Amino acid sequence: MEPRSRTAPLPEVDGAHEDSRATGPDDGPVPQPPLWEEIDVRIMDRRWYGAMRNPAAQVTRAVMATMHDLGVSGPVSVILADDRTVQRLNYLHRGRNRPTNVLTFEYAPAGPQGGAWGGDIILAFPTVRREAMAAGRTVRSHMLHLLVHGVLHLSGYDHHHAGDARTMEMEEARILGRMGIANPWKHRSGRADGGAR
């Protein structure tokens, strides 16, 4: 997981756009966000559909649950992309010519002096799938973790220093626990996981 950027580059989307307010066969209706919240989900890599049922609904629920848990509101765009797209954005905005699991771009610095809260969260399917398999998790569980991580970045959390990283990990574990997702920072034996941030 990479640090957030203070620029917000919503990339051109060549792939399919899926309405985040869709319903799935067993998912039931997706909760409608209040008027001041907008969750826009774009699916650029069709492999996300094979990894879970109704990925747009999964994204919407996770982002809304995290926002409500943190007491924040505003527009969020989530792009379920591929390694190539994420690598291009990572190089363009961060000077790192490699893919990563998630990039987060906030619209304005969070806080009382900042502008509208919100931003873009972009995930790379091959990297997310590879990390999930290595950790013995489902792609869905790992994706939900990365979405919580992204919303925390939009809310001012960071992990550049050990203390900040620990605080962010504890928030991630707490929020994911409320969603019924196991703590990603614990091994099955109960030891803390030193996974990538």
Binding-site residues for Zn(2+) sit at: 149, 153, 159
Annotated binding site: 149, 153, 159
Question: Which two three-digit tokens encode residue 124?
Answer: 């790379």
Cα–Cα distance for residue pair 74/107, rounded to 1 Å: 10
Please give the Cα distance from 43 to 123 (Å, whole number): 10
Q: What is the DSSP letter of 31?
A: P
Name the pairing type of β-strands 119-124 and 102-106: antiparallel
Q: Cα torsion for 44, 46, 49, 50, to the nearest 10°? A: -150
